[in-house]
Structures are given as structure tokens and as C-alpha cells.
Chains A and B, each alone.
Chain A
Amino acid sequence: MKITFPHLGNLYIAAESLLKGLGHEPVTPPPTSRRTLELGSYHSPDEVCLPFKISLGNMLEGLAQGADGVLMIGGWGPCRLGYYAEIQRLILKAFGKQVEFITLEVPRGRWGEYLGRFRTLTASTDLRTFWQGARLSWVKLKAVEELELHAVSAQPREKNEGTVRPYLRRQLELLRTAQTVDEVQEICDAASRGFRELQAHDAVRPLRLGLVGEIYTVLEPFANLRLEERLGSLGVEVVRTISLVEWVRNHIFKKAVGLYSLAPLRRLAAGYLRGFIGGHGLESVARSVALARQNLDGIVHILPLSCMPEIVARAILPRISEDHGIPVLSLIVDEHTAEAGFQTRLEAFVDLVQRRVERFEGQRQARLSGS
């Protein structure tokens, strides 16, 4: 079966390997673009959040390229994401598309149906190919994240402006075509040297801003208007708190065997939020506290319009900002977010943080020379 799937950052690299291992032909939709969003918005209800519209657009573009199946993740709430797949299936059906819709989620009731879905997914594979595909996919997922992290720290220190991001794109392209685990390892090693060469060694310490928020808008460059890249070119090192590898490890491997615990996050968020509120709400609050304790220069919080868990987090962040003395910028994105306004807000925030850091530095110097 030809299977398409929605984009999430560079997840497609790992997803392709996984689907190949399952004996299917992956149909990766074209990179998310304005057209994807318009296509998705046209078929979505108005009030639904941005990730829904983009992922629906991805599916439609993938189907237009000849896919006859869709792979999507599900869940059991309270975030809307868990119900995306079902609604998207209904929309595609109303639209007259006959597609096999495969939702990956923890089964609940109706075991026969889940078993059927699992069978369609694994129909044309043997255990050996599947294992190789799954292993390659996991290794690639980790490699992609490693490269991205290299880029995030290299970009504010780059020797020649605008060299790191194109280099990252080239390496990701190599990674996509890699066939074996060893090949992936080689690419990673070469890239880590490559990134080092692109950096100036006498660079000043860049500003460090933490990035928290809803996972899709944090990881998908189209949805956040290439936020990391923009911050990088403003000379900021972005400290990520959301990692796809961790997400898969926690929500798929650990949760399946009941080992995932929210206790560390709850401890961090104590006094601000008492527990899980769906989506990444608790994580946004807890990670912000953690970032503040690590003495970062500021926090950028990003969320899609009308994302309920993040709205609650957003109402709480100002108090964390006040208590810990750390500037926080909340950015809401939707399909109408304009680039110019977004860039201006980022620049203004970076300016503010820069001046704060300089002022503190000045005070520290004065104290040192005074005593």
C-alpha cells in the first residue's frame, strides 16, 4: 500500500524508513507550504487549531501524489490532537476520498477493529525486514535530532553568516537516503566535525533563550515561521525543551508498559500548576521553571491560537517570569500570522533580553571593582 503521513519537522526521514520496513511504499507529502495550509484550511472547520489544518493539508497533498492510505496518530484526550484523526477521516470521506485511514493509538474497546488496522499495517512484511526498518527508523530519528541540536548551537557562533542552515539541510538530505545504521553513524560523525568547522572559536557567549510550548508548533518550522532559524540569525542560542526522541520514548515505549510518570514535571510545576491539563500545558509550565532555575536569559513560549492547555499555561507564565526574574515572550500562531510582525516581536524581545543581560553584567562589574 502507498501510505502518506502528515509532516512534523523532520520526522519524515524516520517515518519513511519505518514504512519501508513495514513493506509499504511511503509517499512523503511535499514540504509544508502556503498551499498546504490553504488546502487544509479550506476543508477544516474555522475554529480548529493550526496543526489540524496543516496536517490535513499534508494528507491531501500526499493523496494527490497517489497515496491510498494515511498514517496518523491518535490519543485519548483531553487535547484535541487525539481526535484529529477521526475528524480528518470524516472530512476526507465527505470529500469523496476513499482512503485507508490507519490511526496509531493505545487501543480502547473494539479490539477487533484495532487488530484489523494492525494487520493492514503489517500485512506485507516479515519480522526480519520489520525489525531492520524499525531499528533504522529509530536511529535516524535520533540522528536527525542530534544534527538539529548541533545546528541550534552552531548558528549563533557561525563564522560566515548563513552557512549553518544550508549545511544542516544537506546533511538531512544525506540522512534521508542512508540505508544502514552504520551509514547513519558516519553521517553523524562527519556532520559533527562539519558543524565545528563552521563555528568561530572566539565567538562571544550568545544569548540563551529557552523554547517551550505546544509540541507541533515547536517542532514544525512552517508552523512557527522558522522560529529557531530566526532566533539563530539574531545571535541567540535556542535551548530546546521538547524533543521528539524523548516524546517517542516517553509516550510510546514507556507509556505502553506504564513506566511513564508525570511526577518530576509536577514537582517542577508545584505552586503554579497542580497536574496534567492536556497536551503540553504542564510541560510548558514545568520546563519554564526548570529553565528559569538554569539561569537562562529568557523564555520563548509558542502556541497555536485556541490551544486550550497552552492558554492555561500562558496565563501562568507571567507569574513564573515575575517570581524568577526571567523575561517571557508568548507567541500565538495561526494561519494569519504575518512574517514581518513576527520578526519585529522577536527582534524587540531579543533586544530587551540583551539589554537586561548587559545591565546585570555592568552591575556585576561595578560591584567587583567597588569591593
Chain B
Amino acid sequence: MESICLPVKAFVGHVIFLVRHGLSLLLVPQLISVFRREWTCANLLGLPDLVRQYVSEDVRLLTPVLDARRRVSQHAWAYLRMGLEFSPPARVLRAWQRARDAQQEYDESRIPPAPSRGALHVLLLGPHYVAADPYLNGNLRAKLAELGVQVSIAADFPEPLTAEGCRYLRKRPYWTNTRRSIGSLEYCRDAIDGVISAAPFGCGAEAMQSVLISSHISEAPLPHLQLFVDEHSGTAGLETRLEAFCDLLERKRNG
């Protein structure tokens, strides 16, 4: 499975692990879109079919189609239909309501991080899977914390804020993740010392995003470190680059 991105490789790895441990029903949703008029990414669109290539026929894949391109409420129907296979309607409905409330609570708990004047503050951009998984990003966030840097990621920002932040663009990016990244950068650019983007090698949207970022920060220069991760990434090189970047930020701040 060469040339596909690291998160998908990790996903297929998880699937194969689970199947080897005897699971016969797997939930692999087809995530087409989570917001109106936006896409996740081409790899996620093909994920269930990709996974199918690596598991035997007797493993069943449960694949609700989540497609909010036209309206976000489609998600509710997809979940309800999936639930009805296993439980009576009343119970499914209750489960859905509980899930929705939990999501809402999470969404409301997301308040944009306040800049701290003391420590260096860095915005970490990139697909959530890479930004959040310490193994895939080479323990990036812990290393930055060790260096005394405060890190925000795009997921810390509420959705309406990042959508608003993309207004300045002539054409709104149609990948949810890019929209989040550019929007959060626009929102907090005055409060941060630098930007790090961590993307899987070969990620289509990320290549475009790098131009958007550099054109965005061209007027008021902001240090930008671009990292690509794949299965060959080493940790020593990453550490050196992070240290050098933080040195640079430190020096810039002290004028």
C-alpha cells in the first residue's frame, strides 16, 4: 500500500490488528463530508473500499455514509439507520440524543485559547489525526511542551470562528481541515509567535495549504515550520528542527 498517506496506513494497521484478534464486525464509516459544502478528503471517501482490500470476505464492514454536503442533518439519519439494525427505534433515538448532547457540550467547551504573554505560543496545523496522535507526529506536542512552548491546534477553535476566518479568501477552501487551519490562523495570528504545520507526506490538501499559509503571512512575517511525516520519519531530526525553530522564535521575541 505504498504512496497512500500515513494516517490511512495507520488505520488499515488497526483494522488488520482487530481482525487478527477475531473481530468480525467493524465500523468503518464513509466520511464524505461533515460540513455543508465541504469535503473531508479523497482518501477518506475511499476508505471503506480500501479497507475491504485487506480483510477477508467473512468480516462484515458496517459503513454508514456520512455526507453533510447538502445538509448537516443527514448525519442523524445515517446514524439512526445504522442503529436500527441492532436495536428498537426508541433505544436508537435515545442513544442518538445522548451522542448529540455530548457533541454539543464538547463544541461549546471549545473556547479559543488565550495568548499567554510568558511562554512562546505556537499554532500547530495539520490533519487532526496527525496533530492529535503522538505516535504519528513523533510526540511533537510533548516535545514542544518540554521546550516550554504553549501549543494550540486547529481543533481548539470553534467551527463558526474558523469559517469566519476564511472570509478574506477569494475562494473558500472546500476541505474541512484546510478551512479550519486557515481560519484559526487568521483568528489568532496576532497572539502567536509561530506556526508549525505537520502533514502526512503526499497529502493533497496540505500542499495547497502551504501556499495559502505563506501568502497569508507574507505581509506580517510569522515564522512557519513545515513538517512532513511518513513511516520513515526519525525522531532525532525532528527534535533538532523543533529546537532550532524555538530558538528562532525566542530570538525574534527578544528582538
Contact = CB atoms under 8 A, between A and B. Distances in A.
Given A45-B211, A308-B43, A80 B204 contact: yes
Contacts of A332: 3
Contacts of A305: 3, 202
Interface string B1-40: 1011100000000000000000000000010000001011
Contact of B42 (A83, A87, A91, A277): A277
Interface residues of B, number: 40
A279 interface: yes
Contact of A312 (B42, B175, B218): B42
Interface stretch (A162-170, A238-246, A268-276): A268-276
A80 B208 contact: yes
Interface centre among B5, B41, B46, B53 (most CB of A within 10 A): B46
Nearest to A313: B46
A29 interface: no
Nearest to B46: A312
Interface string A35-55: 000000000011111000000
A355 interface: no
A83 B208 contact: yes
Interface stretch (B87-95, B145-153, B166-174, B185-193): B166-174
Contacts, number: 117
A86 B171 contact: yes
Contacts of B211: 45, 87, 90-91
A277 B43 CA distance: 8
B103 to A, nearest CB: 24
Interface centre among A76, A89, A94 (most CB of B within 10 A): A76
B222 interface: no
B3 A306 contact: yes
A314 B50 CA distance: 10
B239 to A, nearest CB: 23
Interface of B: 1, 3-5, 30, 37, 39-43, 45-46, 48-50, 53, 63, 169-175, 201-208, 210-212, 214-215, 218, 228
Interface of A: 45-49, 74, 76-80, 82-83, 86-87, 89-91, 93-94, 108-109, 113, 272-279, 281, 305-309, 311-316, 318-319, 332
Closest 5 pairs between A and B when the two form their complex, measured CB to CB: A312-B46, A308-B42, A78-B39, A47-B207, A77-B174
